[in-house]
């Protein structure tokens, strides 16, 4: 009787609730290690007139992946550099054909650009499939499952004004513009297309990020992202405001210097003008040092904080001030060392951005590995090998 009661109590007791696991990301690379890889890559690229570039990229990816630890386990890259080389040659041929067509005639340039527009989304999708399909964690191959139609739809907001821009640029005749008083139909179209590219940029960026983050997968997980166009437009307005702030400060500073300088006479005016030019140049550079980290930090947080899968959620806490300080330091040291600090800057930036992201899992990833070992292997890596191996980054 006691055994029956014990069995009844066990049956009625609630099942244990799975405790979420935090999969921390750590980057263990060092600038001194990567410097040796970077130096050899640079030398071989120069010796081979750029042909070693895909092989250098494969070596760089392998190093950064091997030093990226997720829950203590490193990523691995299995991409074949020779397949990446084929993709590199294809891109060189396409861009070379477009450049030559632009010198032949305006019609040839537009036709070549149309061909690029037709093939580029497919190549972009293939690059994502190749990179993810050749990336593994704990022996599990990742994958990219974005549809081809989605790649083309993501490019529409930038394609339409870009086509108008290319077509109208060929009709900008200096003589016709002079006869028309500076404004011609071609110039009007060119200006309108440029404005549309600027206005549509946040929309395009949203579609690109949605397409990428909706296609990531590993084991039985498939990512989904919540990212609204309005949110990205708001970020664009904030970034524009951040960009305008240094320019405003520089304008006030220039006005004060010029006012004081002109009050000192002709000699003071010359010195003041020179100081203003130097200050404006410094401000121009600082604007990029501020704007780029601000936009990158906010966009990383927006995209990854909205990304989920069946059992995984992501959290990014990249701070603008941290990325700004690091970017300023990297730019200064790179300039002072004549670019020799670049590998150290790359490692430091990767460490900051990667370690700002954490992953929470409702399941034990060991169960995914067990499922694969039981015979549910993923063939994504083999499928990725069928593509050209074009790697345009993720």
**How does pLDDT run across 187-235, given as a tens digit for each residue?**
788 889 999 999 999 999 999 999 999 999 999 899 999 999 999 999 9
Average pLDDT over residues 262-291: 71
287 occurs within a structural domain: yes
Number of domains in the chain: 1
CA distance 205 to 115: 22
78 occurs within a structural domain: no
Range scoring the smallest mean pLDDT among 62-71, 109-118, 159-168, 378-387: 378-387
Q: Which of 201, 287, 193, 286 is nearest to 236 (CA)?
A: 201
Q: If pLDDT is split at 50, 70 and 90, which confidence band does 382 have?
A: very low
Sheet holding 21-27, edge to edge: 221-222, 216-218, 140-144, 135-137, 73-77, 68-70, 21-27, 357-361, 312-316, 307-308, 224-225
261 occurs within a structural domain: yes
Structure tokens at 141: 């191959």
Is the Cβ–Cβ distance between 97 and 161 less than 8 Å?
A: no
- Residue range(s) defining the domain that contains residue 286: 228-304
CA distance 226 to 296: 18
Structure tokens at 221: 């997980």
363 occurs within a structural domain: no
274 or 361, which is more confident = 361
- Is 360 in a helix, a strand, or coil? strand
User: For residue 394, what pLDDT is reported?
Assistant: 39
Strands 135-137 and 140-144: antiparallel
pLDDT, mean over the chain: 85
N- to C-terminal Cα separation, the chain:
63
Q: Is residue 176's pLDDT more than 60?
A: no
Q: Is residue 60's pLDDT more than 80?
A: yes
- Is the torsion defined by CA of 292, 298, 303, 304 positive or negative? positive
Range scoring the smallest mean pLDDT among 84-93, 260-269, 341-350: 260-269
136 occurs within a structural domain: no
66 occurs within a structural domain: no
- Residues contacting 150, CB < 8 A, separation 6+: 211, 214, 215
pTM: 0.85
274 occurs within a structural domain: yes
Q: Is residue 385's pLDDT more than 50?
A: no
86 occurs within a structural domain: no
Q: Is residue 239's pLDDT more than 60?
A: yes
Q: Which of 301, 354, 362, 309 is nearest to 22 (CA)?
A: 362
């Amino acid at each position: 009787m006691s055994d029956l009661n014990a069995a009844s109590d066990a049956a009625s007791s609630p099942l244990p609730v799975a405790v979420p696991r935090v999969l921390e990301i750590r980057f263990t690379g060092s600038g001194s290690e990567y410097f040796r890889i970077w130096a050899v890559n640079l030398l071989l690229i120069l010796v081979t007139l750029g042909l070693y570039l895909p092989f250098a990229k494969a070596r760089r990816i392998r190093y950064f992946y091997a030093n990226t630890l997720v829950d203590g386990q490193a990523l691995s890259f299995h991409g074949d550099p020779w397949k990446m080389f084929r993709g590199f040659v294809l891109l060189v041929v396409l861009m070379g054909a477009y450049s030559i067509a632009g010198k032949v005639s305006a019609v040839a340039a537009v036709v070549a650009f149309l061909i690029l527009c037709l093939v580029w989304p497919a190549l972009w999708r293939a690059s994502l499939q190749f990179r993810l399909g050749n990336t593994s964690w704990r022996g599990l191959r990742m994958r990219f499952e974005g549809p081809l139609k989605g790649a083309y739809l993501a490019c529409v907001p930038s394609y339409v004004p870009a086509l108008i821009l290319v077509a109208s640029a060929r009709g900008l005749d200096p003589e016709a513009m002079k006869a028309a008083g500076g404004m011609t139909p071609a110039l009007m179209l060119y200006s309108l297309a440029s404005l549309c590219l600027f206005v549509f940029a946040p929309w395009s960026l949203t579609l690109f990020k949605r397409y990428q983050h909706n296609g990531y997968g590993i084991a039985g997980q498939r990512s989904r992202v919540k990212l609204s166009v309005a949110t990205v437009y708001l970020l664009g307005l904030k970034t524009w405001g951040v960009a305008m702030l240094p320019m405003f400060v520089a304008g006030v500073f220039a006005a004060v210097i010029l006012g004081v300088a002109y009050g000192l006479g002709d000699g003071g005016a010359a010195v003041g003008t020179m100081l203003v030019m130097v200050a404006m140049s410094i401000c121009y550079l600082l604007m990029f040092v501020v704007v780029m980290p601000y936009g990158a930090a906010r966009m990383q947080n927006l995209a990854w904080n909205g990304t989920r899968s069946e059992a995984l959620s992501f959290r990014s806490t990249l701070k603008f001030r941290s990325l700004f300080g690091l970017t300023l330091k990297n730019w200064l040291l790179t300039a002072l060392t004549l670019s020799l600090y670049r590998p150290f800057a790359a490692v430091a930036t990767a460490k900051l951005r990667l370690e700002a992201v954490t992953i929470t899992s409702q399941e034990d990833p060991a169960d995914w590995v067990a499922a694969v070992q039981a015979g549910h292997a993923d063939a994504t890596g083999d499928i990725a090998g069928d593509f050209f191996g074009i790697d345009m980054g993720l």
